Amino acid sequence: MNMLLRTIGLTQNESAVYLMFLKHKQKTAAEVSRLLHMDKSSCYRAVESLVTQGLLITTPKKRGTTQSAVSPEILKELYHQKLSTLKQKESELDRFVSQLLKQDESKRSTFIKVETGIEAIRNGMDQNLDAAICSSKVIKEFYRLSFPYFQDKDHIKWVNAFAKRRIAAGVSIRQIVDFAGVDTFAPIMKSDKKLLKEIHLMPKEMKGLYGVRISGDITHIISFDKQQNYIDITIKDTYVTLLMNSLFDFMWERSKKYI
């Protein structure tokens, strides 16, 4: 019973006091506090609040002011008032949430992570696939088939399986590639609508062992040193990705299509 009263806005003390007044037609606040074993100050505050809400009626008498409970029918009115207030608050909340979202959009959120190892490369590819699925359904990348990890047979199998997952997800890919005389991925290294793939040849002016993969708001940069150790740098930033997309598109327009 108390829980029902609390759903319409009464506190625990107010609920207990109101129910006690329903049970006893007329009582003073002091008498009710004794019946409930509630301290007087708490009981008086509850009585005052109930009177304000129209749930108790005050009657002055010689032996002191008494209160009596109003018919429980008033609880329905309070419930509907509560609903009406909540409806008004709902529209206010909608406006407040919209403002917060606009503020959040205006804030620049940047995440950078540096990792090493083949798992970092694979995790990066998965991240780009997920980001593409949630955005434009396009992955852009440039790389060289002379990258050392393309000599790893297990990784080759993983990349082929990744290509199947990408195609199944309906994500297309644009690649600027330096084949470096390697035919490791010959069956899938071609521009093909079925493979959702377009390939351009990497310009000879581009030097060094490094690669970039872009989708959504995520950019992955793979970089090798002279000892062929490599790192995978994850950058999650809308504006950095816009920059990398522009650079990629610039190279794409100036590179030759591979058939």
pLDDT, the chain, mean: 88
- 123, 59: one domain: no
Asked if residue 136 and residue 57 are part of one domain, the reply reads: no
Task: Give the pLDDT of residue 122.
Answer: 94
Q: How far is the C-alpha of 21 from the C-alpha of 68, rounded, in Å?
A: 6
Q: Does 103 have pLDDT greater than 80? A: no
State the pLDDT at residue 190: 76
Q: Give percent above pLDDT 90 in the chain.
A: 51
pLDDT interval class at 135 (50, 70, 90): very high
Q: Which pLDDT score is estimated for 133?
A: 96
Q: Could you tell me if residue 64 is inside a domain?
A: yes
Position 187 confidence tier, pLDDT thresholds 50, 70, 90:
confident
**Model confidence band, residue 252 (pLDDT cutoffs 50, 70, 90):** very high
Using DSSP bridges, classify how beta strands 172-178 and 138-144 pair: parallel, antiparallel or unpaired.
Answer: parallel
The Cα-based distances of 27 to 18, 57, 170, 215 in angstroms read 11, 11, 74, 73
Tens digits of residue pLDDT in 201-237: 998 888 888 899 999 999 999 988 878 788 999 999 9
What is the pLDDT, as a whole number, of residue 147? 87
Number of separate domains in the chain: 2
Q: Are residues 242 and 163 in the same domain?
A: yes
221 and 120, same domain (yes or no): yes
| pLDDT for the residue 32 | 92
The model's pLDDT over 19-36, given as tens digits with 9 standing for 90+, comes to: 999 898 789 999 999 999
Higher pLDDT, 153 or 191: 153
| Alpha helix positions (H), the chain | 2-7, 12-23, 29-36, 40-52, 74-106, 118-133, 153-168, 238-253
**Confidence check: pLDDT of 189 > 90:** no
pLDDT of residue 154: 93
> Would you state the pLDDT for residue 80?
82
What would the mean pLDDT of 128-135 be, rounded to a whole number? 96
Q: What is the CATH number of the domain that holds 140?
A: 3.30.870.10
Question: Does 235 share its domain with 186?
Answer: yes
Query: Is residue 118 located within the same domain as residue 53?
Result: no
Query: What span, in angstroms and rounded, lies between the C-alpha atoms of 255 and 88?
Result: 59
Angstrom distance (rounded) from CA 140 to CA 252? 10
Residue 14 structural domain: 2-72
* 235 lies in the same domain as 115: yes
**What CATH number should be reported for the domain holding residue 50?**
1.10.10.10
Last residue of a domain, one of 72, 90, 124: 72
Query: 144 - beta bridge partners?
Result: 178
- Tens digits of per-residue pLDDT, 7-17? 778 899 998 99
Distances (CA, A) of 189 to 30, 81, 145, 230: 88, 68, 11, 24
Q: How confident is the model at residue 1 (pLDDT cuts 50, 70, 90)?
A: low
What does the pLDDT average to over 159-176?
A: 95
Is the pLDDT higher at 203 or at 89?
Answer: 203
Instruction: Tell me which DSSP letter residue 189 carries.
Output: -
Residues 144-172 have a mean pLDDT of: 92
Block residue for tokens 């190279």: 251
Output the pLDDT for position 218: 96
Residue in the block written with tokens 């129910």: 19
